[in-house]
Amino acid sequence: MNGERRRIRIGLLGFYHEANSFAPVQVDDAYVRAAGTFWGEDVLREFRGSASTAGGFIAAAEADGQVDLVPMVLSVLVPAGPVTAEALATQVGYFRESLAANGPFDGVLVVLHGAAVAEDVDDVDGHLLGVVRDAVGPGVVIGTSLDLHANISARMCEAADLLNTYRTNPHVDARPMAEEIGHLVFDAARGVIVPTLAFVPIPAFINILRQNTDVSPMSDVIADVVATAALTGVLTATVAEGYPYADVPEMGMSAVVITDDAPVQAAELARALAERVWERRDEFDARIPKPEEALEIASSTDATPVLLLDVGDNVGGGSPGDSVVLLDAAIRTDFRDLVSIVHDPAAAASAHRTGVGGVLDVVIGPSAAAVRGKATVIGLSDGTFEATGTLHAGFRRFDAGPSAALRLGTGQTVVVTTRVTLPLTPVQLEEIGLSLTDYRAIVAKGVHSPLAGYGPRVGLVLQVDTPGVTGADCSLLPYRRRRRPLFPLERDAHL
Ligand SMILES: [Zn+2]
């Protein structure tokens, strides 16, 4: 079969962003530039061999051996607030220009997150897939592989022929899921398969505390997805968790089944998957300890160090990463052996001016709730580090900017950074000279994403009910645009 495969030309481009509608930091052109936009061959140089979605698309093309992959443009952002109208227009321009300049294509692979929101467009991913469809016309195969947190829309499913999501949270399968879409796009481009897609939105969202795919109910949901995908005639199947912090009509869970030229089968299977998810909806809510309760557990357990997950300041969910709520609780309860990484450029700069061993006055955290006092500088670094192993969503290289480890007069340790950083790996603490075993508690500003990197290195993991724009209790969020009714906010919602 290998020798008979037609040589095909496949475009590769993307814009990967998860938008928290309530987050204070907007994504403008400067934010995208700072995150880095890769062009042409640089896309391959940056992502080849990585565990990311782009890494999976590239691996699939190279494994096929008969694909001319045409890398065009790709930006991958740290989650934050909505994209400005201007920055979205810039991306749309990049998409249009590169598709026009590099075509024609047999297929296009698009790197998207699935929960991007702009000031002027609720469904950025659907919008961008529409831009690709308009550029290449109806006969060209379009495929995308989304984050499990995608708020999948009818518009995305109309514009794309092939679509799936990760099946893990923390996300450690971005690459294989992208490889699956890559190979399906190649098959469809050669006419070996005819994808027929069915999409069923589920009027519910799942509390972020219940989204871990290693734990029921999501472990059961994913097992069901895998079983559906294995049925004869099925090309792929998806249940997306959705992203509750995007205040848009598309927000929520959904089921997608894609079959080979069998639209009725696709529709029946997607509906059945959605119904089985719906039956479990009462298990989608949760309650977790407040900061003081969590510190009490951490002070009495033998399973140290304890990873305290700062749910309300979840950087991967678009939070600013500057909260000191847990640090403050530790100071108030005289819990000394705690370390927290906090985004605070001013404190990092003054620690660098002071030098290791020096003592300075610090004000760490948002002004209204800041921690103040004397601190000793115990470590300095430029903030760049590279992790080993597969981290959440395949991230690998990090740049926190100039960083400093500070020992507060009250005993706790704070690593202050110049840039907000995804809390994915304890290497960030080690590269500045700290040892995990010196601490009884480590704060990570995430919910599930830190587990892939930190999990094997800690004795106990506790999710903590801290306040913030990613707080666990969504009934406190000031939604304006989400659909209604939506379970569990409206208990009378129906599938
Ligand atoms: Zn995600």
Summarised one tens digit per residue, pLDDT across range 131-143 is: 999 999 999 999 9
Distance 269 CA to ligand 1 centre (A): 25
Q: How confident is the model at residue 1 (pLDDT cuts 50, 70, 90)?
A: very low
Q: Which of these, 438, 460, 414, lies nearest to 300 by C-alpha position?
A: 460
How high is the mean pLDDT of the chain? 96
Q: Is residue 486 part of a domain?
A: no
Q: Is residue 178 part of a domain?
A: yes
Is it the case that residue 3 has pLDDT exceeding 50?
Answer: no
Distance 166 CA to ligand 1 centre (A): 9
The sign one gets for the Cα dihedral 199, 200, 204, 207 is: negative
CATH number of the domain at 105, please: 3.40.50.2300
pLDDT for 217: 96
Does 439 share its domain with 307?
A: yes
pLDDT digits (tens, 9 = 90+) for 433-470: 999 999 999 999 999 899 999 999 999 999 999 999 99
pLDDT digits (tens, 9 = 90+) for 405-430: 999 999 999 999 999 999 999 999 99
Q: CB neighbours of 182 closer than 8 A, spacing ≥ 6?
A: 56, 57, 59, 60, 61, 64, 109, 143
Does 84 share its domain with 59?
A: yes
Does 295 share its domain with 280?
A: no
Distance 425 CA to ligand 1 centre (A): 16
**pLDDT over 90 for what percent of the chain?**
91
Is it the case that residue 318 has pLDDT exceeding 90?
Answer: no
Distance 5 CA to ligand 1 centre (A): 35
Distance 18 CA to ligand 1 centre (A): 8
pLDDT digits (tens, 9 = 90+) for 101-110: 999 999 999 9
Distance 125 CA to ligand 1 centre (A): 14
> Global pTM?
0.86
Highest mean predicted confidence (pLDDT) among 259-268, 282-291, 366-375, 394-403? 259-268
Structural domain boundaries, residue 92 = 2-284
pLDDT for 2: 47
Q: How many whole angstroms from its chain centre is CA 165?
A: 12
CA angle 342, 348, 350 (to 5 degrees): 140
Distance 264 CA to ligand 1 centre (A): 30
Q: What are phi and psi of 49, to 5 degrees?
A: 85, -5
Domain count, the chain: 2
Is it the case that residue 392 has pLDDT exceeding 80?
Answer: no
Distance 354 CA to ligand 1 centre (A): 38
The sign one gets for the Cα dihedral 171, 176, 179, 183 is: negative
Q: Is residue 476 part of a domain?
A: no
Q: Is residue 479 part of a domain?
A: no
Does 15 share its domain with 134?
A: yes
pLDDT for 395: 83
Does 276 share its domain with 314?
A: no
pLDDT digits (tens, 9 = 90+) for 164-223: 999 999 899 999 999 999 999 999 999 999 999 999 999 999 998 899 999 999 999 999
pLDDT for 368: 81
Does 278 share its domain with 365?
A: no
Distance 373 CA to ligand 1 centre (A): 36
Distance 147 CA to ligand 1 centre (A): 5
Please report how the helices 325-332 and 291-300 are oriented relative to each other, as an axis angle in degrees rounded to 10.
60
Does 175 share its domain with 122?
A: yes
Does 307 share its domain with 178?
A: no
C-alpha to C-alpha distances, 447 to 82, 85, 328, 410, nearest whole angstrom:
21, 30, 20, 27
Distance between CA atoms of residues 178 and 361, nearest Å: 49
Q: Is residue 482 part of a domain?
A: no
Does 269 share its domain with 320?
A: no
Q: Is residue 483 part of a domain?
A: no
Q: Which of 236, 266, 284 finishes a domain?
A: 284
Does 68 share its domain with 190?
A: yes
**pLDDT over 70 for what percent of the chain?**
99
Q: Is residue 171 part of a domain?
A: yes
Does 433 share its domain with 309?
A: yes
Distance 401 CA to ligand 1 centre (A): 24
Distance between CA atoms of residues 201 and 187, nearest Å: 27
Does 278 share its domain with 324?
A: no
Q: Is residue 188 part of a domain?
A: yes
